């Protein structure tokens, strides 16, 4: 499925149609609406979907809409080519949104589900990305280290109690969520990632970062992290077609 092919059908099955009720009564329509929304409302997430689909890493058959849960999850069945993405159609609580999503006040239901879907795609992208590049060095040397040693992270999503729980992986899982979420921010909107990195850098948000166990970036880090994420997505097969 190519999200581009849906862009002309906006009027009939545009993203406005997304609701928990549609997820329950017509999951296929919800799925189509989600892909349409990805094509219309993100800078690069739809491209990630399309490239990963063409490589056989994901398919619309293995995109599941679950009307009864709020949590979305990506499961790798056996090989890297067999991945199942389940999108939970129950809206997130305001509290969860506030903790996990930057600028959460700008997220309505549709935007929330599109964003989470994109986050799951970023998981698949990262799992299939090249080891040994700048992104993986940053992940291993900085993100994992700050979770393991400093109990500080790069994103609110990675800081959720659910991931913090040792049963769910603890610091290493938190670090994985951090790097995936930074990739997601870029895929959704590069400027959104940039604003978020400013939040991690600017002195005036220092107390907010302390309250949320987030790292504070030194001067120059904002620019270099942005470049690492950008080059990792652009230099990869993702955009090489
Ligand atoms: Zn995740």
pLDDT-wise least confident of 15-19, 123-127, 171-175, 222-226: 15-19
Residue-wise pLDDT for 187-210, tens only, equals 999 999 999 999 999 999 999 999
Report pTM: 0.90
Classify residue 204 by its DSSP letter.
G
- Share of residues in the chain with pLDDT > 70 (%): 88
**CA 8 to ligand 1 centroid distance, Å:** 31
**CA 84 to ligand 1 centroid distance, Å:** 13
**CA 180 to ligand 1 centroid distance, Å:** 7
pLDDT at position 236 over 80: no
pLDDT at position 240 over 60: no
Provide the pLDDT for residue 201.
97
DSSP 3-state assignment of 157? coil
Residue-wise pLDDT for 73-112, tens only, equals 998 766 655 799 999 999 999 999 999 999 999 999 999 9
**CA 75 to ligand 1 centroid distance, Å:** 10
Residue-wise pLDDT for 10-68, tens only, equals 444 445 578 999 999 999 999 999 999 999 999 999 999 999 999 888 999 999 999 99
Strand partners, 83: 76
CA distance 214 to 155: 7
pLDDT-wise least confident of 39-48, 145-154, 162-171: 162-171
**CA 188 to ligand 1 centroid distance, Å:** 15
Provide the pLDDT for residue 88.
97
pLDDT at position 215 over 70: yes
Q: What is the mean pLDDT of residues 205-232?
A: 95
Provide the pLDDT for residue 77.
65
Nearest to 48 by CA among 113, 120, 121, 114: 121
Distances (CA, A) of 19 to 2, 27, 30, 61, 180: 22, 10, 8, 20, 26
**Residues at Cβ < 5 Å from ligand 1 ion:** 177
**CA 116 to ligand 1 centroid distance, Å:** 8
**CA 78 to ligand 1 centroid distance, Å:** 19
**CA 122 to ligand 1 centroid distance, Å:** 8
**CA 150 to ligand 1 centroid distance, Å:** 21
């Amino acid at each position: 499925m190519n999200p581009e092919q849906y862009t002309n059908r906006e009027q009939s099955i545009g993203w406005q149609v997304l609701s928990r009720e549609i997820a329950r009564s017509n999951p296929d329509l919800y799925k189509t609406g989600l892909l349409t929304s990805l094509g219309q409302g993100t800078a690069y997430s739809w491209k990630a979907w399309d490239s990963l689909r063409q490589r056989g890493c994901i398919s619309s058959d293995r995109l599941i809409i679950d009307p009864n849960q709020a949590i979305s999850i990506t499961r790798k069945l056996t090989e890297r080519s067999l991945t199942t993405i389940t999108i939970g159609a129950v809206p997130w609580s305001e509290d969860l949104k506030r903790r996990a999503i930057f600028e959460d006040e700008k997220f309505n239901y549709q935007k929330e589900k599109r964003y989470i879907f994109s986050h799951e795609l970023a998981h698949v992208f990262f799992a299939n990305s090249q080891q040994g590049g700048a992104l993986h060095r940053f992940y291993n040397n900085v993100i994992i280290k700050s979770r393991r040693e400093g109990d500080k992270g790069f994103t609110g999503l990675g800081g959720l109690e659910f991931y913090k729980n040792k049963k769910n992986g603890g610091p290493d899982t938190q670090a994985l969520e951090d790097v995936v979420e930074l990739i997601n921010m870029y895929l959704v909107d590069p400027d959104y990632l940039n604003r978020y990195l400013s939040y991690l850098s600017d002195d005036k948000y220092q107390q907010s970062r302390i309250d949320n166990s987030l790292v504070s970036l030194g001067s120059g880090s904002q620019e270099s992290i942005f470049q690492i994420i950008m080059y990792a997505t652009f230099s990869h097969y993702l955009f090489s077609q």
